[in-house]
Amino acid sequence: MIEMDIPGFGPLRLEHLVSDFTGTLSCDGILLEGVAKRMREISRHLAVHVLTADTCGTVTGELEGLPCTTHIVSGSGIDIRKEKFVRELGAERVVAIGNGSNDRKMLKISRIGIAVSGSEGCSIDALTAADIHVHDVIDAFDLLLKPKRCKATLRF
């Protein structure tokens, strides 16, 4: 669990990290450098869930051996199914990370939504739904591993 009290934003009791894969944890379907290390670190504090449409078809191999559960969602309504997954975990206990339009609903309802830009960009829908925008997923993980960064960003 990650706990902190952020002036103006309120108390956080995070238990789950829900992340997209394509464009968030990976570029062109290949896990980004440094993600495996950070995922191992963050999994000591949060249960890590990866929700993805798996556009490149690589998620299973790329995340093999890492401390996370992987859920492949396909077809229509991916945004709604990602939102439902977060609600079922208890949205107030979730930090969500994503970059695509199909991430917008989970970013919006999570206690903290973090939009990442990275090499594959970030949709405007994801950006406006999030609480925080960062360059890449390593920055997102570091906000959680170094809570004073998160506090400084969200306080008001």
Q: Indicate the SS3 state at residue 27.
A: strand
pLDDT computed for residue 74 by the predictor = 86
Section 16-34 average pLDDT: 96
Evaluate if residue 127 carries a pLDDT over 90.
yes
In this prediction, what percent of the chain has a pLDDT beyond 70? 100
- Tens-place pLDDT, residues 58-95: 999 999 999 999 999 988 999 999 999 999 999 999 99
Q: Mind listing the pLDDT tens digit for each residue in 29-61?
A: 999 999 999 999 999 999 999 999 999 999 999
- Nearest to 18, CA basis, from 96, 83, 70, 87: 96
pLDDT band at 11 (very low <50, low <70, confident <90, very high): very high
Q: Residue 145 — very low, low, confident or very high, per pLDDT cuts 50/70/90?
A: very high
Element (H, E) at 42: helix 35-42
Report the run of H or E that residue 126 belongs to, with start and end.
Answer: helix 124-129
Pull the structure tokens for residue 25. Answer: 């944890």
